[in-house]
Amino acid sequence: MMMENYLRYDPVSPELFRRNRQRLFEVLPDNSLVILHANDIMPSNADGQLGFIQQSNFYYLTGIDAPKAALFLIKTPSENKSVLLIEKSNPTTVLWEGRKLNLNQAQQLSACDDDLDEVTTFDEYEALVIKYTSVLDSVWVDFEEHSRADKLVETRNQRYKNSLQKQGFTDFLDLSTLLIPLRMVKQPEEIEAIKKAIQITGSAFKASLAIIKPNIGEWEIESYLLHQMQNHRTRRWAFTPIVASGLSACTLHYVSNHQVCKSGDLLLLDIGCEWANWNSDMTRVVPVSGSFTPRQKKVYQAVLDIQNYAKSLLKPGVLLEEYQAQNMQYTAKKLVELELMSRAEYMNETVRLTKTKKYFMHGVSHHLGLDVHDVNYMSEPLQANMILTVEPGIYIEEESIGIRLETNVLITLQGCEDLMQDIPIDIDVIEKLMNS
């Protein structure tokens, strides 16, 4: 059931969020207080605002997709208690912005409905801080650190942490250290949400094959893809899309999407959407003219072979660092076949690695979930129900050929399941669809 005036997507089962809190309580030490905040709505210019995206850990524990909200978790030897705080509505905000999430809706979405749960308004925040920090031993907050992030803007979590420090609370523990291992292994509801995002992404891609042709603008394809996705009630891109034709496909994060697609060029589409905040991440490469040249086919098939090889390696117990090294070795063999590396260069380990990185300079896989580059510990072996991307590539600037093929896989007890197996990727299928 859709919740009017609040959600575009169908709400995820509240039991997921109750279960996530319970799993956190199981690893949280006694006499601990967790304080976690929703994200801010960030300003743009003048009185404008950017679109709202929820703080991932907060959503993971609450299912609440609204700003100005907070969660307190209290663990003592005798009880586990949750207190959810949301923004209090008033006539002015109703007039200008519509009705806000009310207490009853918040209770339903978060499954905060037993005797040890409470849902109240944000007005109670300071009183709860005073009440619980005075009697509990440790305070856990989200440091919001990510190996690939360089945050220049203070988040709501950081702002309230700094406020508490000014009041004399100086000893904080990082909540992420407890949540990352939980989030790495996906729950059934999360897997279904990611599958939904994948289905929407695949449908949009297949539809776009009918409009891709010489002289179409990359921006036109971007617009068409978003239109197709939003027809399925997704709210936004999972990330800024890459619609890169010709030489631009050799730029890993080309996002201006401003060029006209030319006859004979390849078009790289790195796209994905969200569903209930979980993400898909897919890359496909298609010939603008509808048919690959012999050289393009050869490079394309090499990348597809690398992807299939990578998928064959993935299973519980695999370490991603070793997996990356194995894929680099296999990629080097393909570069020899493509005459981009000599056999003598291949036999020299140092030269082989340097030459391979010239044509393939990024990781093969990353975790996927509430964040596109989802939180993880790279040193931890893979487990069943983790979801990863598999995205090898070969980029040959001197030939204006940039090919990356990306799929999303679910780690199973036996190996991995390709969640994008129904989305066209084989050369003959893509050419047939583009020319039908």
Report pLDDT digits (tens) over 341-378: 999 999 999 999 999 999 999 999 999 999 999 999 98
Find the distance separating the first CA and the last CA of the chain, reported in whole Å.
38
pLDDT of residue 2: 41
Euclidean distance between CA atoms 111 and 323, whole angstroms: 40
Q: What pLDDT is attached to residue 1?
A: 39
Confidence of residue 5 (pLDDT cuts 50, 70, 90): very low
Tens digit of each residue's pLDDT (9 = 90 or more) over 253-282: 999 999 999 999 999 999 999 999 999 999
Close Cβ partners of 153 (under 8 Å, ≥ 6 residues apart): 42
pLDDT > 50? residue 162: yes
Given pLDDT bands bounded at 50, 70 and 90, which one contains residue 149? low
Which of the four pLDDT bands, split at 50, 70 and 90, describes residue 42?
confident
**Which segments within 203-309 are labelled E, that is strand?**
242-245, 266-271, 274-275, 278-279, 282-287
Beta bridge partners of 243: 269
Distance, CA of 167 to CA of 192 (rounded, Å): 43
Lowest mean pLDDT among 5-9, 78-82, 293-297, 324-328: 5-9
Answer whether CATH 3.40.50.10420 is correct for domain 14-184: no
Q: Comparing 106-120, 222-236, 283-297, which segment has the lowest mean pLDDT?
A: 106-120
Across the beta sheet with 387-390, the strand order is 387-390, 407-411, 416-418
CA–CA dist 368, 281 (Å, integer): 8
Crossing angle for the helix pair 320-337 and 294-313, nearest 10 degrees?
150
% residues pLDDT > 70 (the chain): 97
The kind and range of the H/E element at 118 are strand 117-121
**pLDDT class of 432 with cuts at 50, 70, 90:** very high
Of the given ranges (31-35, 114-118, 192-196), which has the lowest mean pLDDT?
A: 114-118
* Mean pLDDT of the region 100-113: 89
More confidently predicted of 243 and 117? 243
Domains 14-184 and 188-435 share a fold: no
Cα dihedral 234/240/242/247 (nearest 10): 170
pLDDT band for position 298 (cuts 50, 70, 90):
very high
Residue 99 in this model has a pLDDT that exceeds 60: yes
Does the structure show a pLDDT above 80 at 130? yes
Residues 116, 118, 122, CA angle at the centre, nearest 5°? 150
pLDDT above 80 (res 114): no
Using the predicted structure, report yes or no on whether residue 4 has a pLDDT greater than 60: no
- In CATH, the number for domain 188-435 is 3.90.230.10
pLDDT of residue 164: 83
Q: Is the pLDDT of residue 238 over 50?
A: yes
> What is the residue extent of each domain of the chain?
14-184, 188-435
pLDDT score, position 276: 96
pTM for this prediction: 0.95
